[in-house]
């Protein structure tokens, strides 16, 4: 379990984030935070399969995309309440992860990368080809927005969406911390580091991989549903390589053996890329800067940003389990 110091740092971070909208009224800054929360959910849940269990799953963004399109189709085509549509995104993402995990669980290394990447391409082609349902390459627009009773989230300068995004991130972190500190979470690290030894201690390697992939898709899919409901758009761009590489850089820079590393990296990288986009000459170079940062972190601190902060004796440290 995270020690008191770690817990304090995490609570302080979330308390500070909860206060942001009270002092930051600029809706664009709030928007950046919301996008950072979404990325933080994607990256930290990806870390469950990639970092904790060692499954080289390159189809994680597909779970997000499935969440996006589930919420979009459910709310716009079937008129389902957007709150429920968001949750449905988690359900369909988990179901698709379960289907993907069955063949992947017994594969190793590059074959896992190939199959999961092929899966993401398959889903993308499905979205593009079924344009009467998904809108094809143009996607779906003007999706229903969130409402809470008579309160509309549409004209409050993103105040409501900010707190929904933050709540989603908080719930996702609680879920991941619980999983990581459970016997199941520890068994994932056992499977990752010593497959034969794990099997000789009664752990079904295939079963743990299937569960890790499925669990990692739940909040990722819900985040997809939230993203679609927030932007009111479902676009095939969510399956793009740019989104995938940015989320992967958050996992690797944040730290693959942690719960909160990717969360921290998502917050830092979202604002860093946005800041660089505003600098003349850096508009296109920002992704190169992120790539260089990723290489430097992997070279100098392979355990990631959180571990580096721990070594510098800063309060946020690796959640060692």
Partner 1 sequence: MSENILEIAGACKFFGGLKAVNDVSFAVARGEILGIAGPNGSGKSTLFNLITGVPFGPTSGEVRFMGERIDRWPAHRISRAGLVRTFQKDAEFPALSAHDTLLVSATYNGRLSRPQAEARIDDAFRSVDFGQTRRSMPSRELSVYEKKQLMIASALISEPALLMLDEPASGLTKPEIQRLDDLLITVNRSGVTVLLIEHVLSLLLSVSQRLIVLNQGSVLAAGDPHDVVKNPQVIEAYLGGRS
Q: Contact residues for partner 1 (CB under 8 A)?
A: 182-183, 186-187, 189-190, 192-205, 257, 320-321
* Cα–Cα distance measured from residue 291 to residue 285, given in angstroms and rounded to the nearest whole number: 10
Residue 65 C-beta: closest distance to partner 1, Å: 31
Smaller CB distance to partner 1: residue 123 or 256?
A: 256
Smaller CB distance to partner 1: residue 32 or 256?
A: 256
Smaller CB distance to partner 1: residue 196 or 284?
A: 196
Smaller CB distance to partner 1: residue 32 or 198?
A: 198
What is the SS3 assignment for the chain? CCCHHHHHHHHHHHHHHHHHHHHCCCHHHHHHHHHHHHHHHHHHHHHHHHHHCCCCCCCHHHHHHHHHHHHHHHHHHCCCCHHHHHHHHHHHHHHHHHHHHHHHCCCCCHHHHHHHHHHHHHHHHHHHHCHHHHCHHHCEECCCCCEECCEECCCCCCHHHHHHHHHHHHHHHHHHHHHHHCHHHHHHHHHHHCHHHHHCCCCCHHHHHHHHHHHHHHHHHHHHHHHHHHHCEECHHHHCHHHHHHHHHHHHHHCCCCCCHHHHHHHHHHHHHHHHHCCCCCCCCHHHHHHHHHHHHHHHCCCCHHHHHHHCCCCCCCCCC
Smaller CB distance to partner 1: residue 17 or 188?
A: 188
* Phi, psi of 95, rounded to the nearest 5 degrees: -65, -45
Smaller CB distance to partner 1: residue 214 or 257?
A: 257
Smaller CB distance to partner 1: residue 25 or 182?
A: 182
Residue 175 C-beta: closest distance to partner 1, Å: 18
Residue 185 C-beta: closest distance to partner 1, Å: 10
Residue 307 C-beta: closest distance to partner 1, Å: 12
Residue 252 C-beta: closest distance to partner 1, Å: 17
Residue 320 C-beta: closest distance to partner 1, Å: 8
Packing angle between helix 286-300 and helix 261-277, nearest 10 degrees?
Answer: 150
- CA atoms within 13 A of residue 213's CA, in its CB half-sphere: 29
Residue 295 C-beta: closest distance to partner 1, Å: 24
Residue 97 C-beta: closest distance to partner 1, Å: 22
Could you tell me the two tokens for 125? 């082609």
Smaller CB distance to partner 1: residue 188 or 234?
A: 188
């Amino acid at each position: 379990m995270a020690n008191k110091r770690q817990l304090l740092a995490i609570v302080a971070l979330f308390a500070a984030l909860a206060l942001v909208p009270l002092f930051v009224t600029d809706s664009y800054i709030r928007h950046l935070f919301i996008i950072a929360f979404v990325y933080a959910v994607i990256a930290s849940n990806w870390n469950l399969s990639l970092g904790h269990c060692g499954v080289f799953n390159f189809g994680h963004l597909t779970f997000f995309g499935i969440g996006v399109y589930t919420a979009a189709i459910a709310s716009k085509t079937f008129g389902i309440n957007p709150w429920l549509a968001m949750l449905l995104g988690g359900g369909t993402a988990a179901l698709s992860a379960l289907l993907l995990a069955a063949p992947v669980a017994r594969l190793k290394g590059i074959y896992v990368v190939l199959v999961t990447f092929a899966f993401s391409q398959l889903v993308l082609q499905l979205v593009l080809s079924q344009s009467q349902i998904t809108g094809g390459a143009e996607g779906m627009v003007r999706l229903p927005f969130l409402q809470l009773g008579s309160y509309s989230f549409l004209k409050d300068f993103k105040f409501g969406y900010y707190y929904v995004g933050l709540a989603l991130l908080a719930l996702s972190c609680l879920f991941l911390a619980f999983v990581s500190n459970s016997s199941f979470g520890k068994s994932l690290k056992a499977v990752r580091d010593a497959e034969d030894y794990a099997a000789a201690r009664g752990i079904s390697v295939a079963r743990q991989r299937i569960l890790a992939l499925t669990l990692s898709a739940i909040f990722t899919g819900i985040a997809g549903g939230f993203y679609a409901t927030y932007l009111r758009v479902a676009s095939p761009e969510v399956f793009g390589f740019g989104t995938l590489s940015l989320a992967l850089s958050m996992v690797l820079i944040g730290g693959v053996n942690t719960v909160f590393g990717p969360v921290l990296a998502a917050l830092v990288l979202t604002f860093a890329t946005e800041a660089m986009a505003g600098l003349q000459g850096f508009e296109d170079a920002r992704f190169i800067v992120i790539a260089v940062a990723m290489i430097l972190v992997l070279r100098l601190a392979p355990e990631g940003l959180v571990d580096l902060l721990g070594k510098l004796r800063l309060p946020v440290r690796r959640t060692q389990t």
